[in-house]
Amino acid sequence: MGYNRIMKETINIKYNGKTYVIPKPFNQCYFGSEPTKQMTIGNRFNDSEHQQYAKLPAFAVAIYDTIIGAERVEDYKLMQQGLTWFQKNFVNEYYTLLD
């Protein structure tokens, strides 16, 4: 596990044997004191009949939260950047939480 700023434009985070490149503007997200800490996130449309959850590292949760916030304020360019990053880096979790 590691948290390493390599450039002003990106951050590299090692998680589960893979290096994730966090591009601008997501490199400005707050990932907490333990960016690789695993967290469980529920699909925001969960109801009593349909429950879906995904386990993600804290750095991916921060990007997920940014996507949801961007959608709420209608910043669709930022939202799409986040969706594209999730599709590339956390495919199954993307389908559980964002599709």
pTM: 0.88
Give the Cβ contact number of residue 61 at 10 Å: 22
- pLDDT score of 1 more than 90: no
Cβ atoms of 58 and 32 within 8 Å: the answer is yes
Rg (CA), the chain: 13
Q: What pLDDT sits at residue 7? A: 47
Q: How confident is the model at residue 10 (pLDDT cuts 50, 70, 90)?
A: very high
Amino acid at 45: F
Cα 79 to Cα 23: distance, rounded to the nearest angstrom: 14
- pLDDT score of 6 more than 80: no
Q: What one-character DSSP code corresponds to residue 45?
A: T
